[in-house]
Amino acid sequence: MVSDLYSLHFEDRTEYLYACVQADVINLAIAVQYINETMAHVRQTDATKMLFVRETPGMVSATEYSIVCSIIVNMIPRNVRVALVDRSPAHRTVVRIINAEAKEKDRDIRAFEEFDEAEAWLLDTTRAKL
């Protein structure tokens, strides 16, 4: 999917749904828009595993990241395992906030800085939740 503000690409891979968002500019409204589109696609395809790659610039504040992370954790269906790879300049902040929020809410969601690590975690059925 493509909007004027970002590009959102989906691939139905053998073992999981792959999604990637790319944007030159990011703010809270844009993030909410691509999250809504992603969640609609997850529900339409009945995916139970998703690897989501975020290639966007950093947002202005940690508060905005906290809001976005909370939205992600709360919108993902409980039966869906999600690995998120953040390639923004603020990747350390995003990884820390997502992982803390997912752990607090007992969700099968984890953020990573590296694709290979995220994919291995997503496909590892022996690993427990965070």
Q: Which domains does the chain have, with CATH numbers?
A: 7-120 (3.30.750.24)
- pLDDT tier for residue 130 given thresholds of 50, 70 and 90: very low
Closest CA to 92 of 65, 130, 122, 70: 65
Whether the per-residue pLDDT at 119 is higher than 60: the answer is yes
The H or E element that residue 37 is part of is helix 28-45
For 55-116, the DSSP string reads E----S-HHHHHHHHHHHHHHS-TT-EEEEEE-STTHHHHHHHHHHHHHHTT-SEEEES-HH
Q: String of b and e for 74-111 (b: at least 16 CB within 10 Å)? A: ebbeeebbbbbbbebebbebbbebbbebbeeeebbbbb
Return the pLDDT at 17: 97
- pLDDT tier for residue 128 given thresholds of 50, 70 and 90: low
Residue percentage of the chain with pLDDT more than 90: 58
Residues 59 and 31 sit within 8 Å (Cβ to Cβ)? yes
Whether the per-residue pLDDT at 1 is higher than 70: the answer is no
